[in-house]
Amino acid sequence: MEGLAGLFGRVIFGLLADRIGVKRVIIGGLLLQAAGIYAYIYVSELTHFYLLAVVLGLVYGGVMPLYSVLARDYFGPQVMGTVLGGITMTSAIGMAFGPVGGGYLFDTFGDYHWLYIASAAIGLAAAMLALAFPPKTEDAAPKDALPA
């Protein structure tokens, strides 16, 4: 469900980003992800689990491709490989640590409550980091940037 919803999220969030701006869509998406992950604490029925999976799939699938646009807008096309490599590396480290940290929290506390809280806090921190990006200006790209 989540993967299928993510396919549609890529298109929907791309259209939204074209209309209202990449930064706004990423911040909104990160906040929605944090809220959705936190909501897992209250999910006790299979139907609700699937509904939440659809929402999170849409958001996660929609936000991830926008990081490349953000990288281009803020750092220029000359260093996109480096910037996207750093973004991907950071994401991969978080995804690798997630199961280990989640297992530790489950073993320590006997449920996933603190995992969802920690994951939501990381999502909120990511949204705050995105909010800290300065407003994009038309002159943001370096002078030797490739023409559009």
Among 65-69, 96-100, 136-140, where is mean pLDDT lowest? 136-140
Nearest of 43, 29, 38 to residue 117 by alpha carbon: 38
Ordered alpha helix ranges (H), the chain: 2-20, 22-39, 46-63, 66-75, 80-109, 113-132
As for how many domains the chain has, the answer is: 1
Residue 138 domain-assigned (yes or no): no
Find the CATH number of the domain harbouring 105.
1.20.1250.20
Pairwise CA distance, residues 68 & 10, whole Å: 13
Residue 145 domain-assigned (yes or no): no
Residue 140 domain-assigned (yes or no): no
Region 92-110: mean pLDDT is 91
145: left (phi over 0), alpha (psi -120 to 50) or beta: beta
Residue 7 domain-assigned (yes or no): yes
Pairwise CA distance, residues 43 & 100, whole Å: 22
21: left (phi over 0), alpha (psi -120 to 50) or beta: left
pLDDT at 25: 95
Record the pTM: 0.83
Residue 113 domain-assigned (yes or no): yes
3-state secondary structure of 44: coil
Range of the domain at 33: 2-132
Residue 91 domain-assigned (yes or no): yes
Residue 144 domain-assigned (yes or no): no
pLDDT (tens digit per residue) in 44-86 = 999 999 999 999 999 999 998 898 888 888 888 889 889 999 9
Residue 45 domain-assigned (yes or no): yes
